[in-house]
Amino acid sequence: MTIRWQDWTSVLVGIWLVLSPWLLGFWLDRSATENACGAGMVLIFFNIISACRLLDEGQEFLNILIGVWLLLSPYALGFAALQDAVINVSVAGTLVVALAVWQLHDAAKGGQA
């Protein structure tokens, strides 16, 4: 069985997102906290399912959507003034998109996505 390290790395990003409001100190902002926790929980759930091969189609595209949402969310939800929260979701979103694109690239080369 191929180890899908991108899935497990996305799970770690999800765990970070869930914990980050308290670790970075922006937990008092409801929209930033709910956004980070919600996106993190979705990443954890779907990437564990994918890594365990319970559902093995479309997860990369969901990750790309989540990553793009994370990049846009500070402006859409109005917490763009919270520098730590913005940097947090921007880095997480970029990582999630990069990992998903990497998986799609591997799949296109004939490897396992």
Nearest to 104 by CA among 60, 52, 51, 53: 60
Domain that holds residue 85: 5-108
User: 3-class DSSP state for residue 86?
Assistant: helix
Nearest to 38 by CA among 65, 58, 12, 66: 66
| 38 occurs within a structural domain | yes
The number of folded domains in the chain is: 1
The tokens of 39 are what?
């996106």
| 75 occurs within a structural domain | yes
Assign 12 a pLDDT band (cuts: 50, 70, 90). very high
Percentage above 70 pLDDT, the chain: 91
d(CA 59, CA 62): 5
Sign of torsion over alpha carbons 93, 11, 46, 5: positive
Q: Which pTM value belongs to this model?
A: 0.89
Q: Is the pLDDT of residue 93 over 80?
A: yes
| 68 occurs within a structural domain | yes
| 89 occurs within a structural domain | yes
